[in-house]
Amino acid sequence: MPTDSLLTLKLPEGYSFADLKVRRCDDDAIDLDMDLVKLICTINGLDFEKVCQNPGPVVTTILTVWYKNHLASGGQPDALMEALKTPGRQLN
């Protein structure tokens, strides 16, 4: 299992974690601003169309890296992200 130190990602300047607009959907999946995900893919050299075919790994990395950065810079905990950190919880 990779460690957190292996997760690297360039985040867009001028945006905050809240700009992802992460929310829980009715089917227990999550939703977020895919335009911002597309921007993140672009600045990291990732093919957005390929990411959309299997978004789980990239979206998980984006959420993990950005949320840790958010907390490290003094941001307030996010209830959904804290719930997702619970063992056994997965992003759908």
In this predicted model, what pLDDT tens digit does every residue of 18-53 receive, in sequence order? 999 999 987 778 899 999 999 999 999 999 999 999
User: For residue 6, is pLDDT > 60?
Assistant: no
Mean pLDDT of the chain: 87
pLDDT band, very low/low/confident/very high, at 54 (cuts 50, 70, 90): very high
Domain limits of the chain? Answer: 4-84
Output the pLDDT for position 86. 77
Which residues lie across from 31 on neighbouring strands?
23
pLDDT of residue 28: 76
What percent of the chain shows pLDDT beyond 70?
A: 86
CA 39 centroid distance within chain: 13
Residue 12: which of 40, 38, 52 has the closest Cα?
40
Could you give the count of Cα atoms lying within 13 Å of 4 in the half-sphere of its Cβ? Answer: 7
Confidence at residue 4, expressed as pLDDT on a 0 to 100 scale: 46
Q: What is the pTM of this model?
A: 0.82
CA distance 60 to 9: 12
Tell me how far apart the alpha carbons of residues 41 and 78 are, in angstroms, rounded to a whole number: 23
Cβ contact 56:83 at 8 Å = no
